[in-house]
Chain A
Amino acid sequence: MSKLKLKKTNLTMISLIIIFILFLTISIGYSCLQQKLNIYGKSTIIADESGKYINGNSTYSYKIINSQKQEESNYIIYDVKLTIVNMDNDIGSWEISFDVPKGYNDFISNIKEGFSKKYENGRLTIYSENGYLSKGNTLELEIQFAIDGEFSINNLTLNGKLASEII
């Protein structure tokens, strides 16, 4: 009897092992049919030459309408019309900054009422709180600069983005 029982157990074990092997084979065979495709991307931010300002799409130009040497000083008062065209995003509160020459005197320079200015480290910032400037629109400013020397504007940014000068 025990021999018979042993025989039955062995047969059962063998059957189970065969079924298990078959199952493994089927599942391995099934899971092999997969494919991974990889896309490798690399992007690099290219800054402007100074590495300080972010390039934008806006443009600017300026025109010296009048220049007059101040009496009893070396300063020349330049009446300048500055035109900026916003070619980036709509702006809810515009701010323009640019480098001014070394001989610039902020105390006797003026800007039209309604706008604010601040001068720091050779850079003049003019801004208007709530000054809306949509993309594609133009901003014109009339500024009176007092400079002991020649007039110039460099590295003009509109809300942090470098604009290109149109000569």
Chain B
Amino acid sequence: MSTKKNNKTLILVILLLVIVGMAVGYAALSQVIQINGTANITAQWKIMFTNIEEGKMNGAETNTEPSYTATTANFDVNLLYPGASAQYLVTVENKGSIDAELINIDGIEAANAETPTDITYSINAKENDPLPSGSKKDYIVTVQWDADATEIPESKTKTATITLNYQQTD
């Protein structure tokens, strides 16, 4: 009886040793593989004004030299008589690496609704005008005094803020 018991115990111990040995052996044969990755954003989003200059002037004189920054362009003009008009050429450039398009133009209607209504602003930009990466576009901003005006309005100055909204294309 005791021999049998001893045998059982021995087998158990041997089994245990085998399991431990397998576990240790497995652990020794394991290899940690590490994947290191680094992601850098190299794309650039850069839509900006790069120039504004006086265009065709008819009965108009530039009051202050036009100027620009990356996001604003300014002009100041005097209109001498009804029918006078002034044009300013504005350059928009996509200096980034992502294609863009002009999704809408704001401010024209609001400006033209203000007094004096004989002075109107316009721009030859169109919605969905594409501006691919690396390209530039010249737009003409025109301000004019209605040729049919027969009296000088009380309010002689009119300002406008024309906003060009660009978004990346799909």
Where the two chains meet, the residues of A that have a C-beta atom closer than 8 Å to any C-beta of B are 33-47, 51-52, 54-57, 88-89, 159-161
CB distance B151 to A37 under 8 Å? no
CB distance A39 to B45 under 8 Å? no
- Binding site secondary structure of chain A: strand
CB-defined contacts of A159 to chain B, threshold 8 Å: 150
CB-defined contacts of A35 to chain B, threshold 8 Å: 45, 47-48, 71, 100, 165-167
Decide yes or no whether B82 CB sits under 8 A from chain A. yes
Decide yes or no whether B74 CB sits under 8 A from chain A. yes
From residue B124, how far is it (CB to closest CB) to chain A in Å? 12
Which 9 A-B pairs have CB atoms at the shortest separation, nearest pair first?
Answer: A55-B81, A160-B150, A33-B168, A35-B47, A45-B156, A39-B162, A35-B166, A37-B164, A42-B76
The residue on A at minimum CB distance from B141 is: A39
Q: How far, in angstroms, from A43 to B151 measured CA to CA in the complex?
A: 17
CB distance A37 to B152 under 8 Å? no
Contact of B161 among A38, A45, A54, A88 (CB under 8 A): A38
Q: How far, in angstroms, from A42 to B167 measured CA to CA in the complex?
A: 27
Cross-chain pair count, CB within 8 angstroms: 141
Decide yes or no whether B153 CB sits under 8 A from chain A. yes
- Binding site secondary structure of chain B: strand
Q: How far, in angstroms, from A44 to B36 measured CA to CA in the complex?
A: 64
CB-defined contacts of B63 to chain A, threshold 8 Å: 42, 44
CB-defined contacts of B90 to chain A, threshold 8 Å: 39
CB distance A42 to B159 under 8 Å? yes
- Are A39 and B157 CB-contacts (below 8 A) given A45-B145, A56-B81? no
Chain B 133-145, CB within 8 Å of chain A: the 1/0 string? 0000000010101
The residue on A at minimum CB distance from B86 is: A43
Decide yes or no whether B24 CB sits under 8 A from chain A. no
Q: Which of A35, A39, A46 has the most CB of B within 10 A?
A: A39
CB-defined contacts of B75 to chain A, threshold 8 Å: 39-42
The residue on A at minimum CB distance from B88 is: A41
Q: How far, in angstroms, from A137 to B159 measured CA to CA in the complex?
A: 36
From residue A24, how far is it (CB to closest CB) to chain B in Å? 19
Q: How far, in angstroms, from A50 to B123 measured CA to CA in the complex?
A: 34
Q: How far, in angstroms, from A51 to B159 measured CA to CA in the complex?
A: 21
From residue A150, how far is it (CB to closest CB) to chain B in Å? 30
CB distance B164 to A45 under 8 Å? no
CB-defined contacts of A55 to chain B, threshold 8 Å: 80-81
The residue on B at minimum CB distance from A160 is: B150
CB-defined contacts of B47 to chain A, threshold 8 Å: 35, 37
Q: How far, in angstroms, from A34 to B79 measured CA to CA in the complex?
A: 35
From residue B9, how far is it (CB to closest CB) to chain A in Å? 40
19 contacts between A and B (CB under 8 A): A33-B168, A36-B165, A39-B72, A39-B161, A39-B164, A41-B141, A41-B159, A41-B160, A42-B63, A42-B77, A42-B160, A43-B158, A44-B156, A45-B79, A46-B61, A54-B149, A88-B82, A89-B83, A89-B148
